A and B are shown apart, each in its own frame.
Chain A
Amino acid sequence: MRNREINNFLSRSILTTLLVITLSLSSSSITHAAVHTNNWAVLVCTSRFWFNYRHMANTLSLYRTVKRLGIPDERIILMLADDMACNARNKYPAQVFNNENHRLNLYGDNVEVDYRGYEVTVENFLRVLTGRHENAVPRSKRLLSDEGSHILLYMTGHGGDEFLKFQDSEELQSHDLADAVKQMKEKRRFKELLIMVDTCQAATLFSQLQSPGVLAIGSSMKGENSYSHHLDSDVGVSVVDRFTFYTLAFFERLNMYDNASLSSLFSSFNPNLLMSTAYYRTDLYQEQVEKVPVTNFFGSVMKTIHTDSAYRATSGKDSSWVKYDVTSGQSDDVDARRMTSSDPEKQVDHPDIKLVKGGGCPHADWWNAIVEKFQGIKNGDMIVNYGLVGMLTLVAVSTWQSS
């Protein structure tokens, strides 16, 4: 009887240790298996001076577009290096236009600029990306993304071979950008990242990127210039760049519920109209751009998580998701219902991996065993007590053995 009890204690204690190990294992396995939970946008205009009016207009236009497609202001970091609206040379005080018809004022009441003027520096930009801020920086100026975030990073300004000029005084180099992205990846600050750059030789800025989950679009290849689209002879400056103009033209046709794919955005760029060749870097991106809707980055539409109980949804570890997209229309509802009927415990996080049956994976087996044990145990205090006694016994046995 005594032996039997010891055996029981031993098995219980081993079980507890295993439980701890399993928990740690499952939390590490979650890194590449996060769910798309939110969308962020970092929109950067890096150039000063009146004659760079168009860069501010570019950024504000993108800002307007992503807001229209559903990213809330609190999740947009807008960096504007100069204030054209209040420039003394602006014929229309406090207004910024991206078109010579002057119908749409981009600088209306509901524009929240997070970094303005001389705050837009390479240092601050990298701080925003990597999340290393001074303590005093308010939450509104931080990129509070997590492992489930899709981030749109849009930059415009004057650039060259592997650099982007900031503020006429410093420059962001391609390896700086790659390093920041790598840090973000390490710190699990994004799930997927779309970098869109409208500058001369934009493609060169992506050459050092290595982190998975990154998609890059540049307005021009190496050795090419990016051009402005048209001159507003009333304001006296060029008001928008070609690449951004045609990007906006693409998005103007969309609403929040359209599911145009990224590849349709890519194919909408006509080199003759751009006067440069748009460049896409997709080798770091696991999914097929034909199947990814643009609203994955430019909007805030994400997969919903259907859970049976509120508790599970917040735990994050055993939460499961349903292959279901609101944007894909009504037909998906049926699909969703079908999916939700299946056992939530058996869902796998990554969409590419098919359902894993019990026994197929040791991790899942362990998990099921533990869960069954848990369900078998009625009294929680008992486990703790047994565990403590078991550990004491282990200590005693080990000291006895060693002596």
Chain B
Amino acid sequence: MASTPETEGQKPKHRPIVRIGIFIIAHSFIVSVVCCTAGVLALLLLPVLAKKTYVSENALMPGSAIPMITDQDVSGANNFINELTSLNLKSQSLNIEIPRLIALHMANLGGEVSYHMFQNQPNKFHPLHFFTSTDTEANNVNQTCESYATNTVGIIRAPRGDGKESIVLVTPYNPVNLSPNETLSLGIAYSVFSLLTQVSWLAKDIIWLAADSQYGQYNSVAAWLKDYHTPSFGGFGKLHDDECHISNDIATEVSDTLRRAGTMAAALVIKVANTGEAGEQDALNIYAEASNGQMPNLDLINVVSYLAVHGQGLRVQVDKLVSLLDSTWLKFIGEVFETVGKIARSVNPQWKFGISVKEYVEGSATLVSSLYNQALGVPTGSHGAFRDYQVDAITMEISPKLFSNSKGRQTELFRGGRLVEGVIRSVNNLLEKFHQSFFLYLLTSSNKFVSVGVYMIAFLLLVAPLPVLAASLFSDTIKSYVESEKNEPFKSWRWLYPTKTVFLVHLWGAIVSLLPYFIYQIPDSQPTSRLLIWASLSLFILFVLGSFFRARSAEWALLKSVTVSSAFIGLCLMSVINFATAEIGALLLVPMCLMTKPWRVAGKVQSALNLVLVIIGFPGATFFVVKSVFGFENGSSLVEFWYWVESLWAWNSATYIYICMVHLPCWVLCIYILLHPC
């Protein structure tokens, strides 16, 4: 009763959620600082928060069966290697002889053999075919038979299986220049193939693809996969002219038409590394990143690493950024986390989240590499071709200590054969596609991962200030506007003017992203000149657009508000497509967008900081800075940047679109705000 006169005097109260929103917007500065700091901290904490991997699918049962590979299989593989090597030494037309030899051996073991011939498809930028595979154009008419590469495909039909599923083994080799590593990987596949033709427990067909990688490892596998998944009706099954076929002296067993088995459950790319590292153990490198940061199901990696570690005693490695291992600041952060962990444990022995400095640094190096590889959107090997067909695939690269002598080679064959057999037997137990474990994860070591639920927190914290800041700027401007002149209509629609500017800049971004297609039409141009043409054309178009649609000079605050909103939308969209790109993009874009302010309004310190951020924020500058800091490659020229961008669109990477259509426009808008005359 007593409170009623008070409440009557006040305005009607909002609901709590609205009040919280108003409170947050009112304190946008603190919220921004806290959220950004927390976001960066969460990112640094990821190696600490990483969980141990575990085989999630019950059906897999890795290692439950003893390997059955015998001396006979291995000695057969040894002979096969010897034959390959001797052929490599004496023969002339290797790109025909080697597939024939492989086919002969596959047929002798009892597999169904067929050749798959394909031509090199040069990577071209097709702006309208983004994300879709380019259709086979008829541009290969006037090419000769020598331009064909030949994949040899051997299929083992599961004796009692239903023939609806298959497991693929891929061994890339270059017939023109066959290296000992490639012969060894072929030998490993041979030994496994030899075993699997005899076993009675196969439920899925086995396909061994000896991929002719003279046009690139990825291309050969991609070409085969494409033909495999393209339905052929009637006589269309023969893909190429008859005259180009390998003359066939293995009687009728080798088929010219593409043979198929069931849908692919999983694919393993077997490779042998060039030089064994100086480690005391043989190592196994696992490469998993496919295009646009897609990863195979974590269970596949788990099975391989479990069998490699527990079955064969191999040291399993995933790609890591070696230069980070010695970085002092990372060590410092690691030490901080270690001490925090120790203190926490002394407070409560139940809390176990501290990890050692070494573990932290290694985890971070792997995490950065994992993030970079995913963000780039370029597959790290020929397994990437499988991911485009939703097949889980990884590359297993065995790096042996020594295999120059025949005994060392024998053990390597045994070990590799056992490992591949174990993985195949485990995948063979699978009843459905891989679906149980994670698809969205970052690896911090071969047996530790950060799942999407954890790493999204870092990203969300990082981008959370953007909408808050946008709302706060907007409400401030409207408020000041209301106070100054009250009689103008449509005052709440004033944000439309800056929106037009923002829209134009994004349109410009879209045009910039399409320009390379036209630049490619200019014949005989150097990468540097192409880059310069690209840059100048872009600038020209920007000025033209700017002069045509001379926007009414809006308040910078409203313009910033809309810019920040568009950056937020762009980042969130990108996080769905490729999380790693969005995370790295947010690290660059969010501070730049939050800090930017016209230099006349801002203080000197803030202007200087803005300038630094804007310089770093330019994609080219970022590229050079990142390269020099992490030492990815040496030599820093414009050419390299051009090649880098070229590789992005050649691999249909969404990162390219992100850079051109989100990052670049936001960068331009930030500069515009910075130079705003007020």
Task: Determine if chain A interacts with chain B.
Answer: yes
Cβ of A19 < 8 Å from any Cβ of B?
no
Which of B61, B64, B65, B203 meets A88, CB within 8 Å?
Answer: B203
Report if A50-B59 is in contact (Cβ < 8 Å); known contacts: A89-B201, A236-B201.
yes
Which of A51, A91, A234 meets B61, CB within 8 Å?
Answer: A51
Q: Is the CB of A236 within 8 A of B200?
A: no
Report if A93-B200 is in contact (Cβ < 8 Å); known contacts: A88-B161, A234-B66.
yes
Q: Is the CB of B66 within 8 A of A233?
A: yes
A interface footprint on B186-201 (CB within 8 Å = 1, 0 otherwise):
0000000000000111
Q: How far is the CB of B403 from chain A (nearest CB, A)?
A: 29
Cβ of B158 < 8 Å from any Cβ of A?
yes
Cβ of B202 < 8 Å from any Cβ of A?
yes
Which of A51, A91, A234 meets B429, CB within 8 Å?
Answer: A51
Q: Is the CB of B59 within 8 A of A49?
A: yes
> Complex formed: what's the CA distance from A362 to B598 in Å?
112
B interface footprint on A38-54 (CB within 8 Å = 1, 0 otherwise):
00000000000111000
Cβ of A237 < 8 Å from any Cβ of B?
yes
> Complex formed: what's the CA distance from A334 to B61 in Å?
59
Kindly state the interface size class of chain B when it binds its partner. 20 to 34
Cβ of A17 < 8 Å from any Cβ of B?
no
Q: Is the CB of B429 within 8 A of A88?
A: no
In the complex, the chain A residue whose C-beta lies closest to that of B67 is A233
Which of A49, A87, A234 meets B65, CB within 8 Å?
Answer: A234
A interface footprint on B387-430 (CB within 8 Å = 1, 0 otherwise):
00000000000000000000000000000000000000100110
> Complex formed: what's the CA distance from A237 to B62 in Å?
10
- Count contacts on A: residues with CB < 8 A to the other chain: 18
Report if A91-B66 is in contact (Cβ < 8 Å); known contacts: A50-B429, A51-B429.
no
Q: Is the CB of B202 within 8 A of A88?
A: yes
Report if A236-B61 is in contact (Cβ < 8 Å); known contacts: A50-B429, A88-B202, A89-B201.
yes
Report if A237-B160 is in contact (Cβ < 8 Å); known contacts: A50-B59, A51-B429, A93-B200.
no
Cβ of A90 < 8 Å from any Cβ of B?
yes
Q: Is the CB of A88 within 8 A of B162?
A: yes
Considering the complex, which residues of chain A in the window 234-275 have a beta carbon less than 8 Å from any beta carbon of chain B? 234-238
Considering the complex, which residues of chain B in the window 140-164 have a beta carbon less than 8 Å from any beta carbon of chain A? 158-162
Q: How far is the CB of B252 from chain A (nearest CB, A)?
A: 28
Cβ of A231 < 8 Å from any Cβ of B?
yes
> Complex formed: what's the CA distance from A359 to B160 in Å?
75
Cβ of B58 < 8 Å from any Cβ of A?
yes
> Complex formed: what's the CA distance from A227 to B65 in Å?
19
Cβ of B40 < 8 Å from any Cβ of A?
no
> Complex formed: what's the CA distance from A88 to B430 in Å?
12
Q: Is the CB of A237 within 8 A of B64?
A: yes
Q: How far is the CB of A177 from chain B (nearest CB, A)?
A: 25
Q: Is the CB of B58 within 8 A of A88?
A: no
Contacts of A92 in B (CB 8 A): 200
Q: How far is the CB of A213 from chain B (nearest CB, A)?
A: 38
Q: Is the CB of A88 within 8 A of B431?
A: no
Which of B61, B161, B203, B431 meets A237, CB within 8 Å?
Answer: B61
Contacts of B161 in A (CB 8 A): 88
Q: Is the CB of A51 within 8 A of B160?
A: no
Contacts of B65 in A (CB 8 A): 233-236
> Complex formed: what's the CA distance from A64 to B573 in Å?
62
Contacts of B66 in A (CB 8 A): 233-234
B interface footprint on A338-382 (CB within 8 Å = 1, 0 otherwise):
000000000000000000000000000000000000000000000
B interface footprint on A73-97 (CB within 8 Å = 1, 0 otherwise):
0000000000000111111110000
> Complex formed: what's the CA distance from A306 to B64 in Å?
57
Q: Is the CB of A90 within 8 A of B64?
A: no
A interface footprint on B151-186 (CB within 8 Å = 1, 0 otherwise):
000000011111000000000000000000000000
Considering the complex, which residues of chain A in the window 17-66 have a beta carbon less than 8 Å from any beta carbon of chain B? 49-51
Contacts of A91 in B (CB 8 A): 199-201
Report if A90-B61 is in contact (Cβ < 8 Å); known contacts: A233-B66, A236-B425.
no
> Complex formed: what's the CA distance from A233 to B67 in Å?
9
Contacts of B158 in A (CB 8 A): 88
> Complex formed: what's the CA distance from A235 to B429 in Å?
11
Contacts of A234 in B (CB 8 A): 65-66
Interface of A is mostly: loop
Candidate in A51, A86, A88, A92 with the most chain B CB atoms within 10 angstroms? A88
Q: Is the CB of B64 within 8 A of A231?
A: yes
Q: How far is the CB of B592 from chain A (nearest CB, A)?
A: 52
> Complex formed: what's the CA distance from A237 to B201 in Å?
12
> Complex formed: what's the CA distance from A86 to B203 in Å?
11
Q: How far is the CB of B37 from chain A (nearest CB, A)?
A: 43
> Complex formed: what's the CA distance from A213 to B538 in Å?
89
Q: Is the CB of B59 within 8 A of A51?
A: yes
Q: How far is the CB of A356 from chain B (nearest CB, A)?
A: 60
Contacts of A237 in B (CB 8 A): 61, 64
Q: How far is the CB of B84 from chain A (nearest CB, A)?
A: 32
Q: Is the CB of B64 within 8 A of A236?
A: yes
> Complex formed: what's the CA distance from A150 to B162 in Å?
43
Which of B202, B425, B428, B431 meets A49, CB within 8 Å?
Answer: B431
Q: How far is the CB of B205 from chain A (nearest CB, A)?
A: 11
Considering the complex, which residues of chain A in the window 212-235 have a beta carbon less than 8 Å from any beta carbon of chain B? 231, 233-235
> Complex formed: what's the CA distance from A92 to B201 in Å?
8
Q: How far is the CB of B357 from chain A (nearest CB, A)?
A: 38
Contacts of A86 in B (CB 8 A): 160
Contacts of B199 in A (CB 8 A): 91
Which of A50, A93, A238 meets B431, CB within 8 Å?
Answer: A50
In the complex, the chain A residue whose C-beta lies closest to that of B204 is A88
Q: Is the CB of B428 within 8 A of A89?
A: yes
Contacts of A233 in B (CB 8 A): 64-66
> Complex formed: what's the CA distance from A238 to B64 in Å?
8
In the complex, the chain A residue whose C-beta lies closest to that of B201 is A91
> Complex formed: what's the CA distance from A237 to B60 in Å?
10
> Complex formed: what's the CA distance from A100 to B174 in Å?
45
> Complex formed: what's the CA distance from A88 to B200 in Å?
8
Contacts of B203 in A (CB 8 A): 87-89
In the complex, the chain B residue whose C-beta lies closest to that of A238 is B64
Q: How far is the CB of A29 from chain B (nearest CB, A)?
A: 54
Contacts of B431 in A (CB 8 A): 49-50
> Complex formed: what's the CA distance from A88 to B428 in Å?
10
Q: How far is the CB of A199 from chain B (nearest CB, A)?
A: 15
Report if A90-B201 is in contact (Cβ < 8 Å); known contacts: A234-B66, A236-B64.
yes
In the complex, the chain A residue whose C-beta lies closest to that of B431 is A49
> Complex formed: what's the CA distance from A93 to B161 in Å?
12
> Complex formed: what's the CA distance from A27 to B597 in Å?
100
Q: Is the CB of B59 within 8 A of A88?
A: no
> Complex formed: what's the CA distance from A92 to B160 in Å?
11
> Complex formed: what's the CA distance from A87 to B202 in Å?
10
Contacts of A87 in B (CB 8 A): 203
Q: How far is the CB of B253 from chain A (nearest CB, A)?
A: 25
Q: How far is the CB of A88 from chain B (nearest CB, A)?
A: 4
Q: How far is the CB of B134 from chain A (nearest CB, A)?
A: 38
Contacts of A88 in B (CB 8 A): 158-162, 201-203
Contacts of A238 in B (CB 8 A): 64
> Complex formed: what's the CA distance from A56 to B66 in Å?
22
In the complex, the chain A residue whose C-beta lies closest to that of B428 is A89
Candidate in A49, A51, A90 with the most chain B CB atoms within 10 angstroms? A51
> Complex formed: what's the CA distance from A92 to B159 in Å?
13
Pick the 4 closest A-B CB pairs, nearest first.
A236-B65, A88-B203, A88-B160, A88-B161
Chosen A-B contacts, 19 in total, with CB atoms closer than 8 Å, are A50-B429, A51-B59, A51-B429, A86-B160, A88-B158, A88-B159, A88-B162, A88-B201, A90-B200, A91-B201, A233-B64, A233-B65, A233-B66, A234-B65, A236-B61, A236-B429, A237-B61, A237-B64, A238-B64
Give 14 new A-B contacts, CB below 8 A, not counting A86-B160, A88-B159.
A50-B429, A51-B59, A51-B429, A88-B158, A88-B161, A88-B201, A92-B200, A93-B160, A233-B64, A234-B66, A236-B64, A236-B65, A236-B425, A237-B61
Residues of A within 8 A of B (CB): 49-51, 86-93, 231, 233-238
Residues of B within 8 A of A (CB): 58-59, 61, 64-66, 158-162, 199-203, 425, 428-429, 431
